[in-house]
Chains A and B, each alone.
Chain A
Amino acid sequence: MFPASRSAFTRIAGSIFGLAPILALALVAGCATPPPADDPEAVAEWEQINDPLEPLNRDIFEFNRFADTYAIKPAAQGYHDVVPKFGRERIHNFLTNLNSPLIFANDLLQGEGDRAVQTFFRAMINTSFGLLGYADVAAEAGIPAHEEDFGQTLAVWGVGEGPYLMLPIFGPSNPRDVTGLLVEWFADPLDIYLNNVHREWIVYTRGAMSGLDKREGLLDSLDEIERTSLDYYASLRSLYRQHRASEIRNGHDGGSKVPAPSLTGSAEPAHIDELSQQAQ
């Protein structure tokens, strides 16, 4: 499944591009039907959901759920059960520390000088005093971890997210974040080095461990959302969008960007008062 070297990967990528016309056909076949133009509210809703490939996305989502139920989730649950919390935290710290070069680069590319300095010192402190990231000494010293990725950098540069996409295995995304994912796949300095010295297995082990770490961290949350939602797919779509938007803002003026729930119905106020009294 994994190419043996980067040139092999390029060859496979080339053949995928060769398949582009066929893929495009499949995409057209998987398109949702837009609402009639004479219903402005429905059109507004359609644009807000921004999921023209919904039928195809839902099929991929079903495939992902299948893979999750029978492979990914059991692996994450096994990891959770076998490795004690202490060990999982150490592994998480170690993997986070390995991401520092990319986070640092993205901090810089976004013009976030303060955060770049934080990332730099975190990596220095945790790699040395924290024994290659084994312990997050920097967080205890008051420099908390933060995440950045190239998808967020593109967003800061003004690139729009584009329509919602469900990727096989990788899950919720969009064209902008897919671009970010691909760029980081090729730009990670540690991976480039390991590929050059033919230690690819470390690259894949790191990738697999990161995936396991991420899925393990989401075990309870995803179970909860699945248990209580009427439409798991739609619920995750909304949560992913909002979460990305918040990550891109880095928490700055988070409140003002969230649209205020306001009166959208036309029920008479007296009626509502009556209801709230009943509720009490």
Chain B
Amino acid sequence: MISRRFFFAAAAGLLLSLSFGRPAVAGDQDPRAFVVHLADKAMEIMTVKGATDQDRVTKFRILFANDVDIPEISKFVLGRYWRLSSPEQQQEFIRSFEEILVLTWSARFKDYGGDLRHTVTNVSPDGDLGVMVDSLVDRQRQQPIALQWRLRRDGGGGLRVTDLVVEGSSMAITYRSEYAAVIQANGGKVEGLLSALRAKLAELQAGGSSSTKAD
């Protein structure tokens, strides 16, 4: 058992060194370091004790603006409806969607003890400009959570997240499927989705501020 695992690890290491042995272009961000740093920052924000909801929201907003390609994800999530939207609707969707992401992730895991350990397990190319980084989040005496970070390299060699796959479920695909259902329910009109987003944001912001008062 152990020798087999060792052999597998050695083979994987060899493969990795073959595919990533080529010298990186100067100025290119290293995908592994990028994900390690991003996950550390996110977990620090989520698990730090004594922070108010407002602190977390502010920090997440900065994190998303810097490291997550919201416009790119927005286009994927709207899919065919992106082309059917006016530029103003596209802009409003990007802004609302970013707020939804920030409010969703800043509250997630906030009651978690903080005994999380994140390790990158694999890095593989994904298309021309993309990189896929696999990682595991270890929790105490529970099954680890498998994550896949889909990254895209911009013109300057910098990296940005375009999707997060949690235990095989892609966040981008889930949003795309859900928002398409909302548009369908509103007679195929993007305006229906935008007003549902406005209502949801108002609800989330109200919920967030009331729980801050409770603290």
Chain A positions near chain B (C-beta within 8 angstroms): 41, 45, 49, 89, 142, 144-145, 220, 224, 227-231, 233-235, 237-239, 242-243, 245-247, 249, 251, 254-255, 258-267, 271-272, 275-276, 279-280
Contact = CB atoms under 8 A, between A and B. Distances in A.
B165 A279 contact: no
A25 B145 CA distance: 43
Interface of A, secondary structure class, is: helix
A111 B167 CA distance: 23
B142 to A, nearest CB: 9
Contacts of A243: 167-169
B17 interface: no
B3 interface: no
9 contacts: A227-B204, A228-B104, A233-B181, A235-B174, A258-B163, A258-B168, A267-B82, A272-B75, A279-B98
Nearest to A254: B168
A272 B167 contact: no
Is the interface on chain B under 10, 10 to 19, 20 to 34, or 35 or more residues?
A: 35 or more
Contact of B146 (A234, A254, A267): A254
B53 interface: no
B76 interface: yes
Contact of A255 (B66, B82, B148): B148
B43 interface: no
Contacts of B154: 276
Interface stretch (B20-28, B34-42, B127-135): B127-135
Nearest to A45: B180
A254 B168 CA distance: 7
Nearest to A44: B80
A267 B108 CA distance: 32
A46 B132 CA distance: 29
Contacts of B98: 279
Interface string B159-182: 000110101111011100111111
Contacts of A239: 169, 174
A261 B182 contact: no
Given A230-B178, A230-B193, A234-B181, 4 more contacts: A228-B103, A249-B168, A255-B132, A271-B87
A242 B83 contact: no
A261 B90 contact: no
Interface string B34-62: 00000000000000000000000000000
Contacts of B94: 275
A249 B169 CA distance: 13
